[in-house]
Amino acid sequence: MYPEEVLVEANLDVVGVGNAIVDVLAPVGESFIVEHRLEKGRMALIDADRAAYLYAEMPEGMEMSGGSAANTMVGVAALGGRAGYIGKVADDDLGRVFRRDLTAAGVGFDVDNGTNLPTARCLIQVTPDAQRTLNTYLGISAHLSPTDVDADLVASARILYCEGYLWDTEDAKAAIRHAMATARRAGRLVALALSDVFCVDRHRQEWLDLLERFVDVVFGNEQEVCSLYESPDLPWALETATSTVGLVFTTLGSRGSLVAEGHQRLEVPAVPVDRVVDTTGAGDLYASGVLVGLSRGVSLYDAACLGSAAAAEVIGHLGARPEGDLAALVGDLGL
């Protein structure tokens, strides 16, 4: 069913698999959300026509390579980790922007360009309360296939990190399963980010099966974790989750995060910030810190603290990529 076991040295900390997307961020008023019939604080998949319309309607903002797993890999590199990325872009202007940005950030990215659809883009409206509403046209990114997954690259990383947002086409599902099976055969950790409560609702049973077969570490916010097990009771959901997977990292917003391993629960405080500007990327950068901590073998509490510190940096400015010296956080925390 699978190719022969891949035996290579672990020379990377993390390889991420996700939707390769260019983010377009702009501050908007509450009226923009209402007038354009957007569901505030959620991610919606849109077609090419809707993407063109919203892009024209949005005020001027910033454009940068993005996508949840790509943001996390940039965070890993910024923290001093060694990161690679697997995603699909077109041979167009946005595709070249994406490749250039990731390479400049120190993340290895070597997937062949696709040509039959444009590069994906995510239109992000940031309201004055720092909430972000995401409207995503997936383009070529959703058509990542098993042939795009470099088995040697996956096996060369201590941790494989997959984003739930990618789980919307049969090609992408097959690519993720192939990557996870490859990582498992190589004795690596496999992590899955639940990404969005709507993703959980769409794919609940498939993901429960995936967790049982392949996944060691789960990342999600409180609502996502509860939704996965169809319960409003987080303690019960975590008890159920840890009967299947080894670790669950649950973000709780300003209340910090909760780490679950077996029957153990670790409450980790959030790092205070002077002003929350934009929550885009907070969960992505939290995962960056945790993944770097896990790859270095620090305690679960310290790994989550590093995640909290990285998340605190990114919510203090517009955009999902770090602007400060994240590598200094490792030293500040004595890691």
- Percentage, residues of the chain above pLDDT 90: 72
pTM assigned to the model: 0.88
pLDDT computed for residue 113 by the predictor: 64
Mean pLDDT of 53-62: 91
Q: Give the whole-angstrom CA distance, residue 194 versus residue 77.
A: 22
Classify domain 12-18+67-116+140-332 at the CATH topology level. Answer: UDP-N-acetylmuramoyl-L-alanine:D-glutamate ligase (3.40.1190)
Mean pLDDT of 32-50: 92
Residue 111 has pLDDT above 80, yes or no: no
Convert the pLDDT of each residue in 183-233 to its tens digit. Answer: 999 999 999 999 989 899 999 999 999 999 999 999 999 999 999 999 999
User: pLDDT class for 178, splitting at 50, 70, 90?
Assistant: very high
The residue type found at 101 is D
pLDDT computed for residue 325 by the predictor: 86
Helical pair 68-78 and 93-104, crossing angle rounded to 10 deg = 30
Contacts of 183 (CB under 8 A, 6+ apart): 154, 155, 157, 160, 189, 190
Helix (H) or strand (E) segment spanning residue 83: strand 83-86
pLDDT computed for residue 4 by the predictor: 43
Residue 118 has pLDDT above 50, yes or no: yes
Asked whether the beta carbons of 225 and 250 are under 8 A apart, the reply is yes
Rg (CA), the chain: 18
Residue 117 has pLDDT above 60, yes or no: yes
Mean pLDDT of 21-38: 93
DSSP-derived letter for residue 97 is: H
Q: Distance from CA of residue 334 to its chain's centroid? A: 26
Asked whether the beta carbons of 211 and 33 are under 8 A apart, the reply is no
**83-92, 301-310, 320-329, range with the lowest pLDDT:** 320-329
Asked whether the beta carbons of 250 and 243 are under 8 A apart, the reply is no
DSSP code per residue over 198-250: HHHHHHHHHHHHHHHHT-SEEEEEHHHHHHHTT-S-HHHHHHHHTTTSSEEEE
Convert the pLDDT of each residue in 242-267 to its tens digit. Answer: 999 999 999 999 999 999 999 999 99
What mean pLDDT, rounded, does the chain reach?
91
pLDDT computed for residue 65 by the predictor: 86
Question: Which residue is it, tokens 């490792």?
Answer: 330
Closest alpha carbon to 123 in 20, 26, 196: 26
Domain boundaries, the chain: 12-18+67-116+140-332
Q: Give the whole-angstrom CA distance, residue 71 versus residue 122.
A: 13
Q: Give the whole-angstrom CA distance, residue 137 versus residue 123.
A: 8
Pick the more confident residue, 201 or 317: 201
User: pLDDT class for 149, splitting at 50, 70, 90?
Assistant: very high
Q: Give the whole-angstrom CA distance, residue 99 versus residue 97.
A: 6
Q: Distance from CA of residue 305 to its chain's centroid? A: 18
Helix (H) or strand (E) segment spanning residue 65: strand 62-66
pLDDT computed for residue 112 by the predictor: 60
- Percentage, residues of the chain above pLDDT 70: 96
Mean pLDDT of 31-52: 92
Closest alpha carbon to 17 in 146, 118, 124, 137: 146
Helix H, strand E, coil C: the string for 192-205 is: EECCCHHHHHHHHH
pLDDT computed for residue 7 by the predictor: 53
**65-79, 81-95, 108-122, 144-158, range with the lowest pLDDT:** 108-122
**Helix locations, the chain, DSSP H:** 30-35, 48-57, 68-78, 93-104, 151-155, 170-185, 197-213, 222-228, 234-241, 282-295, 300-314, 327-332
**Cα→Cα distances 139→38, 92, 118, 144, Å:** 20, 12, 5, 11
